[in-house]
Chains A and B, each alone.
Chain A
C-alpha cells in the first residue's frame, strides 16, 4: 500500500543552521508529494509540493526535490530561523486522488 515515512523528531538546531528533514515514500504509480507545516496553535499549511519526478518545490527558503529513484522528498533549508519552529508533515496523493497519506510529522525546534 501507500505510505510515508519521515524522520522522528524533535529536531533541534541553532539559528542559521542547515536543515534536512528526511521523507521517503512507498506508492504505486506517480504520486504527488507535499510538505505541510503546522505552527503552534494553527492549522496545517501547504509549504511546497512536487507533482512529477525531478520536480523541485520551493517556498520561504525551503526546498524539496522529488527523487523517484530513491523514493524520497527530503525537506531542506540553508539557514533556519527561530520562526521556522513548527511541526513539518510529508504527504502524498495518488494522481488526482483527494486522499492525502501522511507521515507522522517532525517537530523542529530552532534555538536562538
Chain B
C-alpha cells in the first residue's frame, strides 16, 4: 500500500509565476490536509478537503492560494503570483476519516521562490 505521494519534491519559481503542488492520498483515504512549514517554524494547518469539497480553509491565505480535491486525481494546492514569502515546505496528509491521529504524511514539496 503506497504512502501519500507528493510531487514535485522540489519546485523553483520566479516571483509572479504560478506553483502547483500535487498530493495523492493513500488508497482508501478520502480526507486530505495541507500544511505549510516556514523556515525554523512548525507546520501550520492550511486546508482540509474531502472529495470535491473544501471542509475548512481557515488556515489558507485569502488571496493567491486555492486548493481542490477532485473526484478523480490528486489534490492540488495552487499558488498564483508567488512571492518570496511563499518559500516553504508544503506537506500533505491523508486519513480515512477526519481525525488528527489518523493522518499519514507525504514527504513534502519544497518551494523556492527566486
| Chain A residues within CB distance 8 Å of chain B | 4, 32, 34, 36, 41-46, 49, 51, 89, 91, 93, 96-105
Contacts and interface: CB of A to CB of B under 8 A. Distances in A.
Interface stretch (B12-20, B76-84, B96-104): B96-104
Contacts of A43: 3-4, 6, 91, 104-108
Given A41-B107, A43-B106, A104 B41 contact: yes
Interface of B: 3-4, 6, 31, 33, 35, 40-45, 48, 56, 59, 91, 93, 95, 98-101, 103-108
B99 A98 contact: yes
A98 B48 contact: yes
12 contacts: A43-B106, A49-B101, A93-B101, A96-B100, A97-B100, A98-B31, A98-B99, A99-B48, A99-B56, A99-B100, A101-B45, A105-B42
Candidate in B93, B98, B99, B100 with the most chain A CB atoms within 10 angstroms: B100
Nearest to A92: B100
Given A100-B45, A105-B42, A93 B100 contact: yes
B108 A98 contact: no
Contacts of A100: 35, 43, 45, 100, 103
Contacts of A32: 100-101
Given A32-B100, A44-B91, A45-B105, A99 B42 contact: no
B43 A46 contact: no
Contacts of B31: 98
Contacts of A4: 42
A96 B104 CA distance: 16
A51 B105 CA distance: 20
B44 A102 contact: yes
B40 A104 contact: yes
A98 B44 contact: no
A104 B40 CA distance: 7
Contact of A99 (B41, B45, B104, B108): B45
A91 B3 CA distance: 21
